[in-house]
Structure 1
Amino acid sequence: MSTDDFSLQSLVRAEAAADSAFVFDGVPVSRAEFQGKIEQTAAWLAAQGIGKGDVVAVWLVNRIEWIALLSAAARLGAVVAAVNTRYRSAEVAHLLKVSGARLMVVEAAFRSIDFAAILADVAKAEVPALQKLAVVGADAIPTHWPCVRFDAFDKPYPSAPPAKDNIGLPVLLYTTSGTTKGPKLVAHSQRTLASHAASVAKALKLDPERHSLLAMLPFCGTFGMTSMLGFIAAGATVHVLDAFEAAPALKILTEQKITHSFGSDEMFRRILALTGAPRPFPHLEVCGFAAFQPGWRELAAEAETRGLPLFGLYGSSEVQALFSIALASDAFADRIEGGGWPMSAEAKVRIRDTETGELAAQGVSGAIEISAPSCFLGYFNNPDATREAITADGFFLTGDIGRLRGDGAFVYETRAGDAMRLGGFLVAPGEIEDELKSCPGVADAQVVAVDLKGQARCVAFVIPAKEPPQQEALTTRLRERLASYKVPARIYVVDAFPVTDSANGVKIQRARLRSMAMERIAAE
């Protein structure tokens, strides 16, 4: 393969120029039109002084400008820093500071998000590299920085010559989930993005004449970006939601005979809730889902009976989303588990025993380590964090816990920080949570580990059903069904679990649950 085969430009199939690449709000954009928009945007960026190595922050909902900006930046050798539309001032300031973005492309307004008000809380001194804003949908917004209108598609600019030797350089920065010091920026190149997109198209056996994607995840995250790029690589049409809402998603799924979609368990739950039809999606073949909420197994079972086939998968910003996915030939119980079969034939997954440091045997839980063409370049401007995340032989330390299945697939079990070492054994919280949810009076459950009198024990939080559960009855039932070290030392009834928003959905704040457990135990 030549280096051009690894460019983002190579994903847009020239032989299908007249075919639709995207459909935004019912309006198709052909591949030829998309190519034109890339050229116009590259010329516009060059006119703004953006060149090789410069960083452009993109704070947009899903729109054609987002994708054109990424492809145009790639053409110039520039870098796009993806900004989550859920971010607020501290998070935006951190991303702008760490990335060193010179230009930010931002929405004038979108629904209830007041971009100008959020930026008003960002001091210019915090982000010294930022020079100006380019506003989509308006000439300017009230802000500390000079504004220009993003008018790349409205008037011609002198063509910009493409940068050379930039296939392996950073082109896209994702934010990690975050730490107390703020999220790191995960750098990907055109090579990592384009080669993985091609692997996704091949592994899913996508046919441009038969398959289509409903893109309902935000492009600012790897889940939304990777699935979109995979379908572009296949030459299949991508129907785009600017931001997820269940009603328009349902409408597109049914009217456009969509075959594939990817999202969180909560997204698919909301879509199913809007239709009473027994099997409303006869054309759906694959719905890849990330399980962020309790009750995902019950959702998967209901979805299966109604013709919405959910497939477990695995990914991260560092190895990209859709790193792996279950197969249609897998048994249902295996198909809905996180993990699956790597998309790339070159990908390698191994499991390391967290106690001994040795590689674990099949079926034994441990830390997941990955080597693959989809792996990131490193953490942007953070060589120390990069060194800590990569082994001497080039495997990424995912921070996740899982096990090898023995047939070429693997199972993701939990985040390493959530895994519990109880009675000398590594235990995934979901095992205990599932047992609790099978008990009368329990609508939902979450389990965390705490230090109790020098011993690791688990504590459960349950949301009651109509008839609240009795703790003694719950404990008795769990003792009958689980090893003694898995039985919670405390079971607390709560109205709701603490949650946080991410680019891909709402996630449980397990760290906050651990703090709540310790506070309640201390107060006893």
Structure 2
Amino acid sequence: MAWSNREFELGGVNHLALVCSDMKRTVEFYTGVLGMRLVKTIDLPDGGQHFFLDMGGGNLLAFFWFPEAPDAVPGLTTAQTSPGIGEFTTAVGTMNHVAISVPEERFLEYRAKLKAKGVKVAPVIDHDDSPSGTRPSSTTRSTSGPSTSRTPMASCWSSPAGAASSRSRRTSGSNRARRPTVASRRCDRLLSLTHVLEWRASVTRDHAALGDHRGAVLTFGELAAAAERAAAGYAAAGVREGDVVPIVARNSVRWAVAFFGLIRAGALPAAVNWRLAAPELGGLLDLARPAAVVTDEACAPLVEAALSASAAGAAARDAGAPGAAGAAGDAGVTVLRLEDEPAAGPPPERPVARLRGPEPALLLHTSGTTGRPKLVPVTHEQLIGAVTFLKLEVPEAVPGARHLSALPLFHVAGLANLVYTVFTGGHLHVLGGFDTAAFVDELAARRIQLTQLVPTLIRAVTEEVRSRATPPDLGDLVEVVYGASPIDPALLGLAVETLGCRFRQNYASTETGPLPVTTLPPEDHDPARGLLGTAGRPSLGWEVRLGEFGEVQVRGAAPFLGYWNDPDATREVMTGDGFYRTGDIGTIGAGGHLTIVDRLKDMIVTGGENVYPAEVESVLAAHPGVREAAVFGVPDERWGETVHAAVVRAGESPDAGPLDAPSLTAWARERLAGFKCPTGITFVPELPRNATGKIVKTALRERHWAGRGRRVS
């Protein structure tokens, strides 16, 4: 039988190529793991076989099996080597495979599900299966390293978002590389947050690890044991490897137990802002497609309202405690409560495929200038690399060091702080919220050494300390790490003077992850150096450059993986050579210090929270009394910035009624988180526009920012 690939023209199509290196096990994989029904088998000449499987919906999947398949198909059958990645052996070393077309926006999801089933997954390869005979690109990036020769297996092939293809042609069959005898094991390295917790529990088992405002305290040994019990409960409740499970809850020890427990169960926790309004949370759940949601008593009504409004929760049910019988069906979402004890039972099998450094450890969420929610995967190695860097920078971060945090655990900074203290063996006390007087009292009473704040909270703490007739004893406070938004240099100087400790600024974002892009170290916080208005210099492993209009663009050792199931949004923020476009406008001084001076995007940072004007404008425009609205940030001494709206009223309408600022603000508060709602509304006859009809927001901002050197605060 002549061997050809005329029926296999998939050039430019995203697909999963499932390698068939063992016929019997491959068929068992399709029938047992993927749930397909074997319809019939046809014996072919020369000893081959043709398999037909029922995929459901009237669709059949067919593939060939040739035990003695020759190495004769250009671009597919000969092992190749890609610089910096290693050797591709079985992934491209046999013609016995079937390619399944995959929608680009669901590629990461399919890949995660295959890996959760124990399928070895090779690198992402930009290649062409057409008869022209091209080979994998020499510039291809790897997401998990080459796979081994175990079966059944899958290799996931797709073009990197926003990257240009660079394919090298094979000129003749005589240039084929020789198939290696030993497969690379690069992606088999195990390093995860589960390993970090287990290691810490073994070396400092009886040290206090975590406490909260409710009085709960766990040692590292107790935290590891609680995570193991939680994993067993989640598995009993129907949570499986690769399932996305949002956590919608206030800061607490239980939040951390759920987080580590879900990872141990092989699930993918999503840390969600409990301040979202129900419609916002519903949209996020639709994007995440969760198998379950973990919540607490305070946030349960929000979750229930969000599920009732979302497609994901059409068949939602409350299963009670982790491990309760009768998990929701495929269309439903199981709701699990932190307050309930997990059901007793053995822990699930170790999810080895999910405990590798390049694998996502969790999902964080953000929005964008379109107002659409987006999910950002953060890998184990991103988190571990970040806390390793911070440990190098802060010598006092040792076992037993006392940490305090009021930052929400759904924020990248708050979450990194949790991992940081587990990694270094410190004792982290988390607060359910921020109350200025109570926070200062905790600093003194617990003799806190290390803490994290955003500029808004630095101002509040500084003013509180200065206002007290008897100054609190903060003699143990060593360092305050801050970030999330720019800080007024005058305020920073006052804080350094008042609190009498070191300050360190980290510049990063949800997309860049927990490893700071730039750092302003304590020695640069001397006002005499004139650097308090900068964000510092690039951290280890980061490259920073200025693009068009002075936009800050970054790439480095902890690269942005792309938005979850949103390749279009990913392409918008990535350059062709792998830099992430932050949307910030900056300058770089002679000493390499980065200064953020404006935002190319219209994003508003208020009290450390990101607000995207398009989202607020959409809500305001839905009011029957509003014709159009433009939202922008204005300076505020307490919050840095607050949300302001310029609104054009609609014409007289019996449905509109009288429209004033209080009623429009109330409308927004019913539909948006409080920090996103306008704190000021100006009614105008029309909005300023340029020649193309686009609203000129700089004209709206100008009177609020006049006289200031920077357009951020």
Counterpart-to-counterpart distance in 2, 1:204 and 1:404: 26
The answer (yes or no) to whether the contact 2:251–2:433 under 8 Å persists in 1 is yes
2:344 aligns to what?
156
Number of aligned residue pairs: 429
2:437 aligns to what?
247
How far the C-alpha of 1:130 sits from its partner, in A, is 6.8
The answer (yes or no) to whether the contact 1:325–1:342 under 8 Å persists in 2 is yes
Determine which structure has greater relative contact order: mean sequence separation of CA pairs < 8 Å that are 6+ residues apart, divided by chain length: 1
How far the C-alpha of 1:321 sits from its partner, in A, is 4.2
1:299 aligns to what?
491
1:4 to 190, 198, 213: 190
2:51 aligns to what?
none
How far the C-alpha of 1:68 sits from its partner, in A, is 2.2
Counterpart-to-counterpart distance in 1, 2:387 and 2:685: 42
How far the C-alpha of 1:10 sits from its partner, in A, is 1.8
The answer (yes or no) to whether the contact 2:385–2:515 under 8 Å persists in 1 is no
The answer (yes or no) to whether the contact 2:209–2:428 under 8 Å persists in 1 is yes
1:385 aligns to what?
569
How far the C-alpha of 1:265 sits from its partner, in A, is 1.9
Counterpart-to-counterpart distance in 1, 2:206 and 2:495: 36
Counterpart-to-counterpart distance in 2, 1:515 and 1:17: 63
Verify: 1:339 aligned to 2:525, yes or no: no
The answer (yes or no) to whether the contact 1:280–1:307 under 8 Å persists in 2 is no
Pairs within 5 Å for 1:89-168? 89-109=278-298, 115-116=300-301, 119-120=304-305, 122-123=307-308, 126-128=311-313, 131-133=316-318, 149-150=337-338, 153=341, 155-166=343-354, 167=356, 168=358
The answer (yes or no) to whether the contact 1:326–1:341 under 8 Å persists in 2 is yes
The answer (yes or no) to whether the contact 2:404–2:450 under 8 Å persists in 1 is yes
Please say which of residues 37-46 and 155-164 is displaced more in the overlay. Answer: 155-164
C-alpha RMSD of matched pairs (Å)? 4.0
Matched residue SS, 2:523: coil
**Alpha carbons of 1:16 and 1:514: their partners in 2 closer, same or farther (altered >3 Å)?**
farther
**2:304 maps to amino acid:** L
**2:436 maps to amino acid:** A
1:263 aligns to what?
453
The answer (yes or no) to whether the contact 1:105–1:135 under 8 Å persists in 2 is no
**Alpha carbons of 1:406 and 1:90: their partners in 2 closer, same or farther (altered >3 Å)?**
same
Pairs within 5 Å for 1:209-288? 209=399, 211-275=401-465, 276=468, 277-278=470-471, 280-288=473-481
TM-score, normalised by the number of residues in structure 2:
0.53
**Alpha carbons of 1:460 and 1:84: their partners in 2 closer, same or farther (altered >3 Å)?**
closer
Matched residue SS, 1:379: coil
1:349 aligns to what?
544
Verify: 1:17 aligned to 2:211, yes or no: no
Counterpart-to-counterpart distance in 2, 1:160 and 1:368: 44
The answer (yes or no) to whether the contact 1:56–1:105 under 8 Å persists in 2 is yes
Counterpart-to-counterpart distance in 2, 1:245 and 1:238: 18
**Alpha carbons of 1:39 and 1:335: their partners in 2 closer, same or farther (altered >3 Å)?**
farther
How far the C-alpha of 1:22 sits from its partner, in A, is 1.0
Matched residue SS, 1:262: strand
**Alpha carbons of 1:378 and 1:252: their partners in 2 closer, same or farther (altered >3 Å)?**
same
Matched residue SS, 1:417: coil
2:257 aligns to what?
68
How far the C-alpha of 1:278 sits from its partner, in A, is 4.9
**2:545 maps to amino acid:** R
**1:264 maps to amino acid:** V
How far the C-alpha of 1:252 sits from its partner, in A, is 1.6
**Alpha carbons of 1:134 and 1:180: their partners in 2 closer, same or farther (altered >3 Å)?**
farther
**2:256 maps to amino acid:** I
Pairs within 5 Å for 1:480-499? none
Counterpart-to-counterpart distance in 2, 1:75 and 1:416: 40
The answer (yes or no) to whether the contact 1:90–1:122 under 8 Å persists in 2 is no
How far the C-alpha of 1:58 sits from its partner, in A, is 0.6
Matched residue SS, 2:376: strand
1:328 aligns to what?
522
1:405 aligns to what?
589
2:229 to 40, 57, 63: 40
How far the C-alpha of 1:342 sits from its partner, in A, is 4.2
Matched residue SS, 1:161: coil
How far the C-alpha of 1:127 sits from its partner, in A, is 1.9
C-alpha distance after superposition, 1:272-308 (max 9, x if no partner): 3333245742222222223658x83332222122125
**1:4 maps to amino acid:** L
Counterpart-to-counterpart distance in 1, 2:582 and 2:303: 32
The answer (yes or no) to whether the contact 1:19–1:30 under 8 Å persists in 2 is yes
**Alpha carbons of 1:515 and 1:308: their partners in 2 closer, same or farther (altered >3 Å)?**
farther
**Alpha carbons of 1:85 and 1:462: their partners in 2 closer, same or farther (altered >3 Å)?**
closer
Matched residue SS, 2:351: coil
**Alpha carbons of 1:131 and 1:238: their partners in 2 closer, same or farther (altered >3 Å)?**
same
How far the C-alpha of 1:206 sits from its partner, in A, is 4.0
Matched residue SS, 2:508: strand
**1:204 maps to amino acid:** V
How far the C-alpha of 1:515 sits from its partner, in A, is 8.7
Please say which of residues 203-212 and 71-80 is displaced more in the overlay. Answer: 203-212
2:506 to 296, 313, 320: 313
C-alpha distance after superposition, 1:168-221 (max 9, x if no partner): 233311111444442211111222222222222223334325733211100011
Counterpart-to-counterpart distance in 2, 1:516 and 1:280: 55
Matched residue SS, 1:242: coil
Give the structure with higher Rg (CA). 2
Counterpart-to-counterpart distance in 2, 1:64 and 1:214: 13
Counterpart-to-counterpart distance in 2, 1:508 and 1:407: 40
- Structure 1: stretches of 5+ with no match in the other structure: 355-365, 420-458, 465-493
Matched residue SS, 2:420: helix
**Alpha carbons of 1:195 and 1:209: their partners in 2 closer, same or farther (altered >3 Å)?**
closer
**Alpha carbons of 1:134 and 1:227: their partners in 2 closer, same or farther (altered >3 Å)?**
farther
Counterpart-to-counterpart distance in 2, 1:130 and 1:409: 53
